[in-house]
Amino acid sequence: MQTREIRLAARPSGAPATTDFELADVTLREPEEGDAVVRNLYMSVDPYMRMRMNDVRSYTPPFTVGKALTGGAVGEVLESRAPDLQPGDLVVSQLGWREHFVAKAKWLEKIPAGPIPPTAYLGVLGLTGFTGWYGLKEIGNPKPGETVFVSAASGAVGSVVGQLAKLWGCRVVGSAGSAAKVKHLTGELGFDAAFDYHAQSPAQALLELAPEGIDIYFDNVGGDHLDAVLQNMKDFGRLVECGMIAGYNEATPVPGPKSLPLVVTRRLLLKGFIITDHWDRRDAFLADVRPLVESGRLKYSETVVEGLERAPEAFIGLFGGANVGKMLVRLG
């Protein structure tokens, strides 16, 4: 069987370009006992993938030049030689960036029947939702009445964090990269306040929108946001260090926040985390969040790009703010 995949053609230097990717035709291997053949319906592109494109030791091995990329995907089983899967079943895998694959069934997670669309399992009920829930709850430890600030708040992680913080009784401020996104945050998603960081510096905006200071910062961006936040943290505040997208495309590291010494005088906690260390909390996450999604109390958005050949464009768009909510690529 013939299919197509996207390979890493070259390691990006700075911002990734479409020439760093190549579309390739491949022949699938024959399924063996225990395998399933899957047709991918949607794949996920996520900022963390940029770091895996560098040849640097990190929490996951780097992608290999000349080989297919990987990432979250939702697909339909076409053929199964495993007892737990039937043709027509929908599954989540880490075998995105390709239209079909053959894999051991044990690496595939069946999506339960129900009213929730399968793409939700790549976003609000997938790793991005789990990331937001875990970081806010387990590191941020929010209490009703506290002020939570979320950067990149209209993104896949940030939009979950902000809404959960509201549901848990906090005052929520968010930043995003356009006036339309700001309107989405304070309108549909119910944030108390938000600002466009292209129109106003985080330092100035936080003075105005969180005048009494910030208890919890959920950091998706690093950079000048982090410096401004440190200056506006309350004593004993918590900084949930989820990502620092501002630096992912820098060829050489940029200086850190000049206000870091406030970590001592204000007794701040900064804690980095990677969600795949915390599978033991996944059932608790689903028990908490799935009912909120089913009932519509937790909203989510998707930005869908059509076609495997446009996956590099979708990925590159993450760094320019092309997405509201989860960025997905529809395949096939």
Task: List interacting residues with its own copies (CB under 8 A).
Answer: 51, 58-59, 222, 226-227, 235, 241-244, 247, 253-274, 277
The answer to whether the CB of 135 falls within 8 A of the CB of 242 is yes
Q: Is the dihedral of CA 124, 134, 289, 300 positive or negative?
A: negative
Least CB distance from residue 191 to its own copies, whole Å?
Answer: 24
Task: Considering the complex, state which of residue 129 and residue 135 has its C-beta at the smaller distance from its own copies.
Answer: 135
Least CB distance from residue 117 to its own copies, whole Å?
Answer: 30
Least CB distance from residue 326 to its own copies, whole Å?
Answer: 20
Task: Considering the complex, state which of residue 178 and residue 249 has its C-beta at the smaller distance from its own copies.
Answer: 249
Task: Considering the complex, state which of residue 101 and residue 149 has its C-beta at the smaller distance from its own copies.
Answer: 149
Task: Considering the complex, state which of residue 135 and residue 177 has its C-beta at the smaller distance from its own copies.
Answer: 135
Indicate the burial class of 81 (C-beta count within 10 angstroms; 0-12, 13-18, 19 or more): middle
Least CB distance from residue 91 to its own copies, whole Å?
Answer: 29
Six token digits for residue 279:
């599978």
Q: What is the Cα–Cα distance from 297 to 247, expressed in whole angstroms?
A: 33
The answer to whether the CB of 54 falls within 8 A of the CB of 8 is no
Least CB distance from residue 69 to its own copies, whole Å?
Answer: 19
Q: What is the Cα–Cα distance from 6 to 245, expressed in whole angstroms?
A: 23
Q: What is the Cα–Cα distance from 324 to 143, expressed in whole angstroms?
A: 28
Q: How far apart are the first and last CA of the chain?
A: 14
Q: What is the Cα–Cα distance from 92 to 111, expressed in whole angstroms?
A: 7
Task: Considering the complex, state which of residue 190 and residue 247 has its C-beta at the smaller distance from its own copies.
Answer: 247
